[in-house]
Amino acid sequence: MPRPPRGFRSLLGERKWARLLEQGVDRVHGPGVPLLRQGDPGTTVLAVVSGRVKVFGTERNGGRALLALRGAGDLLGEIAARSASPRTATVETIDRCTVRMLSADRFKTFLREHDGEAALTDYSIAKLSQTVPYQVELVHFSPERKIARLLLEVVALADEASPDPERVPFSQQEVADSLGMARSTVAHYVRHLKACGALRAGPRLSVANPDHLRAIAGL
């Protein structure tokens, strides 16, 4: 069953979203590929057609703080492109992704010609309100609740192109890094989530009972 449009696509509307994609060039990337790098000049904008990505900031000590997850319908790099400023975060693919790449100038022209400024303003405000590291956003939650929320968000961003939408394409180490936890802590709670039926048994992370996982996440 097709999932409803989300992100900038939902704010812009289907007709204008299709026109936006026409302005770009197709790029297909496998998992674990950097699409944008923190500090690079903002010369391009990416429109996500399918797949999921993670947005993270690099800290002074070399660590990486997960800021957000994005999926089909989202834009990447639009803030830096509009202001001609360096990128404030790195974006990396989670699974196989298709994006349309537009130059900053073409993106700005599209906004002017298709009355897209208001939709972009609303979208940018919503995104900025989310760019708080997961470790900070979820600081008052128990480790199990933090893990459950992250897994649910990853699964929610799966689209029709995903061959297994209930699978979470993260290793336990990636979950630990995303949440600022020790891997042993994640492994402990993953075992519990599998034992209670929220996750499927087996080596991979896969949601078996979304309602049960939502209850554990407090949603």
pLDDT in tens, 55-92: 988 777 666 778 889 999 999 998 877 777 788 889 99
d(CA 14, CA 20): 10
Token pair recorded at residue 213: 């996982």
Q: Can you give the pTM of this predicted structure?
A: 0.86
Whether residue 39 contacts residue 54, with contact meaning beta carbons closer than 8 Å, is answered with no
For strand 97-103 and strand 44-50, is the pairing parallel, antiparallel, or unpaired? antiparallel
Instruction: Tell me the mean pLDDT in the region 14-30.
Output: 95
Inform me whether the pLDDT recorded for 139 exceeds 70. Answer: no
Helix (H, G, I), strand (E, B) or coil at 71: coil
- CA nearest neighbour of 93 among 169, 39, 19, 196: 169
Helix (H, G, I), strand (E, B) or coil at 154: helix
- β strands within 63-135, DSSP E: 64-70, 75-76, 90-93, 97-103
Higher pLDDT, 66 or 193: 193
Inform me whether the pLDDT recorded for 125 exceeds 90. Answer: no
What residues contact 134, with CB distance under 8 A and at least 6 apart? 65, 66, 67, 146, 150, 178, 179, 180
- Torsion-angle region of 51 (φ positive above 0: left; ψ -120 to 50: alpha; else: beta): left
Which of 84-88, 100-104, 145-149, 155-159 has the least mean pLDDT? Answer: 84-88
Whether residue 98 contacts residue 161, with contact meaning beta carbons closer than 8 Å, is answered with yes
pLDDT tens readout for residues 171-186: 999 999 888 889 999 9
Q: What's the pLDDT band for 102 if we cut at 50, 70, 90?
A: very high
pLDDT of residue 209: 94
DSSP secondary structure letter of residue 130: T
